[in-house]
A and B are shown apart, each in its own frame.
Chain A
Amino acid sequence: MDTNAVMDMDVFNDAQAAKRARLRLISATIRYILLFVVGLLMLYPLIWLVGASFKTNSEIFSGAGFIPQNPTLDGYIKGWETSTPYTFGRFFWNSFLIILPKTIGTAISCTMAAYAFARFDFPFKKILFTTVIATLLLPNVVTRIPQYILFRDLGWLDSFLPLWVPSALAGDAFFVFMLVQFLRSLPSDMEEAARVDGANSLQTLVYIVVPMLAPALISVCLFQFMWTMNDFLGPLIYLSSVDKYPVSLALKLSIDTTEAFEWNRILAMSVLTIAPALIIFFAAQRYFIEGISSGGVKG
C-alpha cells in the first residue's frame, strides 16, 4: 500500500513537471513570436527602404514586398549625380564640415561646463545652472528669429558658422545637463587623489575626469552626430547656396527640382544618408553599455 502511494506520488510529480515544462515552452514560443512580429513591424520601413532603393521606379509602387525583382544600381548611380552641378559627395562633405567642429566643440565645451557645475563652487552657480536648465525647457522655435537676426548682424548667414558655433560653446544645455548628472554619480576621490598628486584643475580634468567620463562623452558625440546629420531646419534657415547644402537639404532638393519624382534615386540617397549614423551607432553602442570606473573604487 505504502509503496504504491510513493509510486503514485512519483508519477504525479513527473506528470506535473512535464506539464510545467510544456507550459514554459508554449509561453516562450508565444513570447518570441510576438517579439519577432512587433520587431519586424518596426523595422519593416527600414528594410523596405533598403530593398526599394534597388528597385526600378515602376516597381516601387507595384507592391509592398521589399525584395526587388530586377535589382538595379540605377537609383544609386543617378541619385549620386543629382540634378545640381554637384554630386552627392559634395553634400556629404558639407555635412562633415558641419558635424566635425560641432561634435568636437560640443565634447570639449560641455565637458568643461559640466565639470565646473559639478565640482566647483563659484558665485551665482545656482542661478547659472537654473538658467542652463531653463534653456533646456525653452522651445527651439522661440529663439529662432532672434538667433537669425543675431547671426545676420554678425554676417554669418549662408555659412556653416551658425550651425556649429553655438554648440561648440556649450550651447546645448541637454548635453551639459547629461554630463553634470554623470559627473555627480562619479566619486570625487580620484580627483582628490590627483590634486594631492599635484595636478591642477585642468590636468585633473584631462587626465582623470575625461577618461572616466568617456562612456558619457561617447554618447554625447553620438547624439550630436545623429541630430546634426538629421537636422533639416537649421541648414534650411541659414544656408541659401546649393553648394553649401548638407545631405538633409540635398535630399529635399531632389524632390523639389524634378517634376516627376525619381523615387528610387531619393530612396537610394536616403539609404546612404542614414548609413553613417547607423554604422557609427553600432560601432559605438558597446560604450553606451559599458560600465564606468569599475575597479577603481571598492566599498
Chain B
Amino acid sequence: MARVQLRNLEKVYGGSVKAVHGINLDIEDGEFMVFVGPSGCAKSTTLRMIAGLEDITGGEVIIGDQRVNDLPPGKRSIAMVFQNYALYPHMKVRGNLAFGLKIAGKSKPEIETAIADVARILEIEPLLDRLPKQLSGGQAQRVALGRALIKKPSVFLFDEPLSNLDAKLRASMRVRITELHRRLKGEGLSSTVIYVTHDQTEAMTMGDRICVMQAGRIMQVATPKELYNHPANLFVAGFIGSPEMNLLEGNLQGGHFVIGSQRLTLGDEVLSRLSTQPRDAVLGIRPQHLALDPSGLKARLTNAEFMGHEVYLHAELEGQKIIAVVGTAEFEQLGRTETIGLKPSAEHINIFDKADGSNVSLHRHRLAA
C-alpha cells in the first residue's frame, strides 16, 4: 500500500512568507499524479516536503499508513528523480545505481542482480562503466531513473525530470516513463508516482489525475479530460489547453450571454447546468469548439495562422481577443472576408462567475458524476 495523503500541509519560510497554504490531497496507490502550475506555485516545495527534503511547517504527510513528517528521506520508502539528474559525478553509472543499496546494507550479489535488472529495463547496460560527464542528457536521465527504480520504493517522486531535455527526447522519455509506470503496476509492484512539471503537455499525457496549483493552493484535482472539459475556475481554464481557452467577459441576462452589442442565446442545456446566474460572467469556450457559422457571434478577423491540417484564426470580438481553430477546408471556403461568424458548441460552453472565478456551469455534470 502506498497511498499518499497530504493533510493541511503548510510551508512557511522565515516565519512570515507562506508558500503552501494548507493542502489536502489523497493520492491513491498506483496512481500517476501530476502537480502542474506556473513557476513559483509551490509544486516543487510540496514535492520536497513529501520527500523530506523540506521541513513541514504544518499539517501531515502520510505515506501508506505511516505519518512520515519526522522521518528522514531515506526512511520514507520514496525515490526521487531530479531536474538536473543529480548523479554523483565521481561515481560511474554502476556506482550511482548501487549507492542507495550499499547504504541500505545489501549484499554484493544482490546489488549486482538489481543493477543488471534495471540496466536491462532502461537499456543502459553499455553505459554502466561510464562517468556521468560522459553521458548525454537523455542517458543521464535514464540513469537517474534507474537510480530511483533500483530501490523499489513505494512512491516515485519526479521533479521536472524532462525539462533539461530537447523536445524530441522529452517526447520519447515521456512515453518511456508512462510505460514504465504501467509495467510496474502490471507486475503488482508499488508504483505511486508524483510528478511535478510546468509543462501541460506532460501533465495531460502522463497523469492519471492532475493537480493544478497556483500560489501555494490547489486549484483543481481531476483527470486530464475532466480538467480540459470542465475547468473548476478561470485559472485552470486559462492554464490548461493550447491554444488557451477563450475567456469572454460579458453579462448573463435572462438566458442570454451579452457581449457588448451582441448576444448569444444559451440553450436549455447550458442553462440547466448553471448553479447560479451571476450578472458579471465570463464565457469560456475552447478554440476547437468554435465553428464558422454566419449566424454566430460576429468577430473581426485579424490574423490566420496556417498550421497544416488546421488554421488558427485570431479575431477580435467586441474588443476582446478570440481564437478559433478550424479545418483548412473550412477556412478556404471562407474566401476573402474581414468579418467572420463564430458559433460555440453549446455542450462545451463554460460559464464562470467573474467575481470569484469559479465555474458555475458544472451543475448537471456534478449530478451526473
* Interface of A toward B, CB cutoff 8 Å: 187, 189-190, 192-200, 203, 207-208, 211-212, 214, 293-299
How many residue-residue contacts, CB under 8 A, span A and B? Answer: 92
Quick one: given A194-B99, A199-B103, A203-B103, are A296 and B74 in contact (CB under 8 Å)?
Answer: no
Spell out B's residues near A (CB within 8 Å). 51-53, 72-75, 78-80, 82-90, 99-100, 103-104, 131-135, 137, 140, 147, 151, 164
21 contacts across the A-B interface (CB closer than 8 A): A189-B84, A190-B88, A192-B82, A193-B80, A193-B82, A195-B52, A196-B51, A196-B53, A196-B74, A196-B80, A197-B100, A197-B103, A199-B99, A199-B103, A200-B72, A207-B88, A295-B87, A295-B132, A295-B133, A298-B137, A299-B84
Residue from B79, B83, B84, B104 in contact with A196 in the complex, judged by beta carbons closer than 8 Å: B79
A211-B74 contact, Cβ under 8 Å, with A192-B82, A199-B103, A299-B164: no
- Verify A193–B86 contact, CB threshold 8 A: yes
User: Which A residues are in CB contact (< 8 Å) with B74?
Assistant: 195-200
Cβ–Cβ contact A192 & B83, under 8 A:
no
Which chain B residues border A211 with CB–CB below 8 Å? 88-90
What residues of chain A lie closer than 8 Å to B133, measured between beta carbons? 294-296
CB distance from A63 to the nearest CB of B (A): 54
How long is the Cα–Cα vector from A84 to B73 in the complex, in angstroms? Answer: 63
With A196-B51, A296-B85, A299-B83 given, can you name 12 additional A-B contacts, CB distance below 8 Å? A190-B88, A192-B80, A195-B53, A196-B79, A197-B74, A197-B151, A211-B88, A212-B90, A293-B89, A294-B89, A295-B89, A296-B87
Smallest CB–CB gap between A134 and chain B, Å? 25
For residue A189, which residues in chain B have a CB less than 8 angstroms away from its CB?
Answer: 82, 84, 86
Among all A-B residue pairs, the 5 with the closest Cβ atoms = A295-B133, A296-B89, A198-B74, A197-B100, A189-B86
- The CA-CA distance from A197 to B81 in the complex, in Å, is 11
Tell me which residues across on chain A come within 8 A of B82, comparing CB atoms.
189, 192-193
Whether A296 pairs with B73 at a CB distance below 8 angstroms is no
> Complex: how many Å from CA A299 to CA B88?
15
Contact, CB under 8 Å: B85 / A212: no
Chain A min CB distance to B304 (Å) = 38
Contact (Cβ within 8 A) B137 A190: no
- In the assembled complex, the CB of A198 is this many whole angstroms from the nearest CB of chain B, namely 3
Q: Are B103 and A212 in contact (CB under 8 A)?
A: no
**Interface contact A296-B86, CB-CB below 8 Å:** yes
**Beta-carbon nearest neighbor of B104 in chain A:** A198
Max chain B C-beta neighbours (<10 A), residue from A195, A198, A212, A294? A198
Task: Contacts A196-B79, A197-B151 given; indicate if A298 touches B88 (C-beta within 8 A).
Answer: no
Which residue of A has the minimal Cβ distance to B165? A298
Taking a contact as CB atoms under 8 Å apart, the answer to whether B84 and A212 are in contact is no
- Contact of B164 with A298 in the complex, beta carbons under 8 Å: yes
- How far in angstroms is the closest Cβ of chain A from B56? 15
Contacts of A198 in B (CB 8 A): 73-75, 100, 103-104
Whether A193 and B78, one on each chain, are in contact in the complex, defined by CB atoms closer than 8 angstroms, is: no
CB closest residue in chain B, given A211: B90
Q: How far is the CA of A192 from the CA of B51 in the complex (A)?
A: 10
- Expressed in whole angstroms, the Cα–Cα distance for A194 and B99 within the complex equals 8
Closest to B84 in A: A299
Contacts of A294 in B (CB 8 A): 89, 133
- Residues of A contacting B52 in the complex (Cβ-Cβ under 8 angstroms): 195-196
Known interface pairs A196-B80, A197-B99; A297-B90 also in contact (CB < 8 Å): no
Of chain B, the residue at the smallest CB distance from A203 is B103
Q: Which residue of A lies closest to B51 (CB)?
A: A196
